[in-house]
Amino acid sequence: MSPILAELFGTAILIVLGDGVVANVVLSRTKGNNSGWIVITAGWAFAVTIAVYCVNAISGAHLNPAVTIALASTGAFEWSKVPGYIAAQIVGGFIGAVIVWLAYLPHWKATPDPESKLGVFSTTPAIRSPGANLVAEIIGGFALVLALLAVLSPGNFVPGSDLAKGFGPLLVGVIVWAIGLSLGGPTGYAINPARDLGPRIAHSVLPIEGKGSSDWGYAWIPIVGPTVGGVIAALFYNLVWKA
């Protein structure tokens, strides 16, 4: 499998399990209805862990344009590969969202609230304030990339061991869980442009009864915020941690 295809499949797996847990919690008449924020954040953490395990050996399991751009900004990833990775991630996000729609097919009609339906696919702010929402996503993107680089740094593993390969994806899931629990309240912690954009496109084109708006006026925030935060974090890590 090529790295590009791995990024597509990995992101699709991420969204199937991540958006899937949101659907289970917020859609009406599911077995997990109203099970709460802890279930959602745990589900997303496990989704990330499984997706990273699936494709890490092939593509590095970026699964996130903010991570791809952050690594490229410090020379750790080739800029020539960035467009292909990002395109694959967005397409994978779209495919994953379509699969979630199919999995919960009877529940869309049973759910009266359009915002809940949109929330399965993409993030929405708890309090709509574009400036504050953008800051929250910048902080979340910064926390994600800085934690990835610091926690998975070679200094935390015995040189020549396979610990980083074996435990790395699990630690990535822990990082995402921590961010969701601590920083997810204001915006739903997109921290990943493809996680938001691909499924939002799916929401806009799928025949979901009573789905309402796809809220494109907000869509730029979960794209710009994590990307800016991730680049700042990567530059900060190179300047401070590795100095």
In the chain, where does DSSP find H-type helix? 3-26, 37-59, 65-73, 82-103, 105-110, 114-121, 130-151, 163-183, 193-205, 221-236
pLDDT of 145-182, one tens digit each? 999 999 888 777 765 566 666 788 999 999 999 999 99
pLDDT of residue 155: 77
pLDDT of 206-230, one tens digit each? 999 999 999 999 999 999 999 999 9
Q: What is the mean pLDDT of residues 67-90?
A: 97
The total domain count for the chain is 1
Q: Which pair of tokens denotes residue 180?
A: 């969701």
Asked whether the predicted pLDDT for residue 22 surpasses 70, the reply is yes
Q: Which domain holds residue 106?
A: 3-241
Contact by Cβ (8 Å): 107, 23: yes
The model's pTM: 0.95
User: Which amino acid does the sequence have at 131?
Assistant: G
pLDDT of residue 1: 86
Q: How confident is the model at residue 243 (pLDDT cuts 50, 70, 90)?
A: low
In CATH, what number is assigned to the domain containing residue 28? 1.20.1080.10
Mean residue pLDDT of the chain comes to 95
